[in-house]
């Protein structure tokens, strides 16, 4: 079930919150606090009975049990509507939440179950034929480095051409800006890269 706070309630919380939180600091700060202080299922306004509700920034926080049968190999849940990614480790001792970029259009968005099949530090990039048709000015190949659209790390999925990767253009995070992949800040994909393994379950919703 999704619950929304009233404007009055949010106003009271904001008045007592101290320094103003940005979208990025809210997510990253909450993730760090969650990992250190709370059991994973209780993090970020999850209800005791499971399900999902929205926090004060309207991010939809999900319970892994609503999407996966088990945490075997760890699980990644990428929400293309809320533009956020959640990770749970197999033993449920590690929980992370990250803001993401998402595909530009629904036509470019694939949803459903997949898995991590390969992990690459310093990925190279080649646009697909469909990408070149839409953007003929793009190069045929970009080597690893600061100009690479995959950033510093990439998790290759069992769906061909689909990745969870970093970005060297931080303006893309929190926006519809990709050609199908899920993008994270470089420092956050580096953390997720270390936590995930080949075989980690993935679902895009």
Q: Which residue matches tokens 């980690």?
A: 200
Rounded Cα–Cα distance for residues 71 and 106 (Å): 28
Q: What is the 3-state secondary structure (H, E, C) of 14-78?
A: HHCCCCCCCHHHHHHHHHHHHHHHCCHHHCCCCCCCCCCEECCCCCEECCHHHCCCCCCCCEEEE
- Would you call 165 a catalytic residue per the annotation? yes
Q: Which of 100, 98, 95 is nearest to 178 (CA)?
A: 100
Phi, psi of 192 (to 5 degrees): -65, -40
How many Cβ atoms sit within 10 Å of the Cβ of residue 29? 12
Selecting among 10, 67, 153, 181, the annotated active-site residue is: 181
**Strand extents, DSSP E, 35-192:** 53-54, 60-61, 75-79, 84-88, 95-99, 102-103, 112-121, 153-157, 163-165, 176-178, 182-183
Q: Are 143 and 161 in contact (CB under 8 A)?
A: no
3-state SS, residue 159 = coil
Selecting among 10, 67, 153, 165, the annotated active-site residue is: 165
Q: Are 203 and 182 in contact (CB under 8 A)?
A: no
Residues forming the active site = 165, 181
């Amino acid at each position: 079930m999704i619950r929304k706070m009233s404007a009055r309630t949010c106003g009271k919380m904001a008045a007592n919150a101290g320094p103003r939180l940005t979208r990025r600091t809210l997510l990253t700060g909450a993730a760090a606090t969650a990992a250190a202080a709370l059991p994973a299922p209780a993090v970020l306004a999850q209800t005791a009975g499971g399900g999902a509700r929205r926090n004060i920034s309207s991010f939809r926080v999900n319970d892994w049990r609503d999407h996966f049968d088990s945490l075997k190999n760890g699980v990644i849940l990428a929400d293309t509507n809320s533009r956020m990614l959640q990770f749970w480790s197999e033993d449920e001792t590690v929980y992370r939440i990250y803001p993401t970029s998402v595909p530009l259009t629904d036509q470019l968005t694939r949803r459903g179950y997949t898995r991590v099949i390969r992990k690459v530090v310093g990925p190279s990039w080649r646009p697909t034929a469909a990408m070149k048709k839409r953007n003929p000015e793009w190069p045929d190949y970009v080597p690893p480095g600061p100009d690479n659209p995959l950033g510093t790390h990439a998790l290759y999925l069992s769906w061909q051409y689909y990745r969870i990767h970093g970005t060297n253009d931080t303006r893309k995070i929190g926006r519809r800006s990709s050609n199908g992949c899920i993008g994270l800040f470089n420092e956050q994909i580096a953390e997720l890269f270390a936590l995930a393994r080949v075989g980690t379950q993935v679902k895009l919703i």
